[in-house]
Every structure is written in structure tokens, then in C-alpha cells.
Amino acid sequence: MAIITKITTQQKNQDRFNVFMDYGKGEKFAFSVDSDVLIKFQLKKGMELDDFSFMEIQYQDDIRKAYNVAVNYLARRMRSEKEIKDHLVKKELDEPIIEEVIHRLTAQKYINDEEYAIAYVRTQANTTDKGSNVIKMELKEKGIEERTLLQALKEYPLEQQIEKAAKISEKFFQKNSKESIKVLKQKLENVLLRKGYSFEVIAIAMNETEVPKEADEEMDAIRYQGEKAHRKFSQFEGFEYQQKMKQALYRKGFSMDLIERFLMEIDNS
């Protein structure tokens, strides 16, 4: 057996201690431990340690170091259980140590996926323009179970989602005036889908949003698109030119009546 000959406090970390031992050939540094491990095993000068005790001390110290890593990670903000596990895996820690750390953190209520999910939904709903589908996907990526995330999403009611989607719609129409109403609505629907809004929310929001586009503005839009089409098909004449212009502008979402008006305008110019 080896005998502990000296225990000193580390200069850079007052919560860790260096343990020196004599293996029969004089004193030398043996290992370092956290203060909690030092107290748990009642380590002191003159104490004898066998191989089993030494391995158990090292194992418990590894758990304590991993625990401290997890607590520091949690100190920045709330984390899900999966986020903490992934962080510890990146530190190349063994699975049994990670599981023990997760068990301790859960018992101490430092980890609570239900509370985490609720807080996450509230934050995203109040500080971003994300729809519920994107938030749901993000929670899944963070390891939140389906039952838990569905319960948490109740913190983001349909009325609030519609209100946000309507505001996005209003800003979208204000910024875009060079397209037909039909194309604008298609593009807006895609924008809202990417942001995570359901078809139900999108339909209600778009129905409630006033489209700031009068007849004159629609005519300005077809003139803008029509001039681009005219440059493309200017080498054609007569019926062929008319058909290519009509097809191009119809695909842009303009009505046939408006297209006919524009083509007459060109003919008279």
C-alpha cells in the first residue's frame, strides 16, 4: 500500500488539492482531487490507500470534474438534458460518468425538460417572428419529447401566431410592389411557411391583411414586368410576340384583362 505524505491546495484553483504519496521509494505527486472528493473519502496525511480505493477516488473525481463542466455550461442559460449530454460527449467523457452527472443534475432540479420547453417557447414567441412549426422542430432537435413539446407549445396561442403572421404580411406587401397580387401572395405564403406558420394561420393572417395595392399600383407592376418581357421578346412580331408576352405576364400572376390593357398601351405608344 501507498501512504499519503502531503496534501496541498492548488494555486490556480482553490477547490482542488494535490495529493502526494510514498510508494516505498520516497514522496512524489500521486493525483489531484476536488474538495468534495477529498472530504467524501476523508483523505489526510498518513492514510493508506490500496488500488481499489485509488480507482474509486479517481472515478468520483472524474464525476465531480464533469459535474463542474455541466454546471458552468448551465450557468449561461437553461439547457435541455440532450444539450448537456452532447456538451459532455464533446469533452470526450465516458458514458457512465455522463449518466451519473445527468442523474445528479436532475435530482437537484438543475435539469427539467418540461420547464425548459415552456421557457423556450415563451422566449421564441415573444422575441422572434418564428411560427410554431419551426419552434417545434427546434425543440425536437434539443431532445424534447413529443408530449412535452406539445404541452409547451400551448404557451404560443393561435391568436398570437396570427397576429405575428399578419404583421409579417403587412411589411411584406409594403416592401414589394413590382409583382402582381397573385405572385406576391404566393411568395408571402412561402415566406410564412419557412418561418414555421401553419396553413391555417397563414390563411387567416393573409385574409385579415389589407393588400395595399390599388389599380394604379397593379398597372405600375405590370409595366415593370412587361418592360422586362418586351426586351426579351422584342425580336418577335405580330401574333407570336403577343402570345409570348401574354404567356410571360400570365405566369407572373397578372389577369388577362390587365395584360390586354398593357399590350394595348404598348401598341398605342
The mean pLDDT of 234-243, rounded to a whole number, is 84
Are both 196 and 228 inside the same structural domain? no
Please give the Cα distance from 193 to 256 (Å, whole number). 29
102 within domain boundaries: no
H or E stretch covering 206: helix 199-208
138 within domain boundaries: yes
Are both 170 and 148 inside the same structural domain? no
pLDDT-based confidence at residue 137 (cuts at 50, 70, 90):
very high
Q: CATH code at 225? A: 1.10.10
249 within domain boundaries: yes
The mean pLDDT of 208-213, rounded to a whole number, is 66
Query: Rounded to a whole number, what is the largest CA-CA distance in the chain?
Result: 110
- For 175-197, the pLDDT digits (tens) are 866 677 778 888 899 999 999 99
pLDDT-based confidence at residue 210 (cuts at 50, 70, 90):
low
- For 101-132, the pLDDT digits (tens) are 999 999 999 999 999 999 999 999 999 999 99
What are the cell numbers at 87?
456538451
pLDDT-based confidence at residue 7 (cuts at 50, 70, 90):
very high
Which residue has 473519502 as its cell numbers? 41
Residue where a domain terminates, one of 170, 189, 208: 208
Q: CATH code at 151? A: 1.10.10.10
Are both 149 and 167 inside the same structural domain? no
Residue 77: what pLDDT? 92
Count of C-beta atoms within a 10 Å radius of residue 38:
19
Residue 177: what pLDDT? 63
Query: Which has more confidence, 216 or 93?
Result: 93
165 within domain boundaries: yes
Which structural domain range is residue 186 located in? 158-208
242 within domain boundaries: yes
In this predicted structure, the answer to whether residue 261 has a pLDDT above a threshold of 90 is no
96 within domain boundaries: no
pLDDT-based confidence at residue 253 (cuts at 50, 70, 90):
confident
Residue 264: what pLDDT? 81
184 within domain boundaries: yes
- For 54-75, the pLDDT digits (tens) are 999 999 999 999 999 999 999 9
The mean pLDDT of 235-252, rounded to a whole number, is 83
Residue 254: what pLDDT? 79
132 within domain boundaries: yes
Query: Per mean pLDDT, which range of 45-54, 158-167, 258-267 is the poorest?
Result: 258-267
pLDDT-based confidence at residue 208 (cuts at 50, 70, 90):
confident
Are both 173 and 201 inside the same structural domain? yes
Query: Which has more confidence, 224 or 56?
Result: 56
Are both 261 and 224 inside the same structural domain? yes
In this predicted structure, the answer to whether residue 218 has a pLDDT above a threshold of 80 is no
Number of domains present in the structure of the chain: 3
pLDDT-based confidence at residue 216 (cuts at 50, 70, 90):
low
Query: Per mean pLDDT, which range of 152-156, 219-223, 229-233, 244-248 is the poorest?
Result: 219-223
Query: Which has more confidence, 90 or 247?
Result: 90
Contacts by residues 42-50 (CB-CB < 8 Å, ≥ 24 positions apart): 43/4, 43/7, 43/17, 43/19, 44/4, 44/7, 45/4, 45/5, 45/6, 45/7, 46/3, 46/4, 47/3, 47/4, 48/1, 48/2, 48/3, 48/4, 49/1, 49/2, 49/3, 49/4, 49/21, 50/1
Please give the Cα distance from 172 to 141 (Å, whole number). 30
Closest C-alpha to 169, from 194, 202, 127: 202
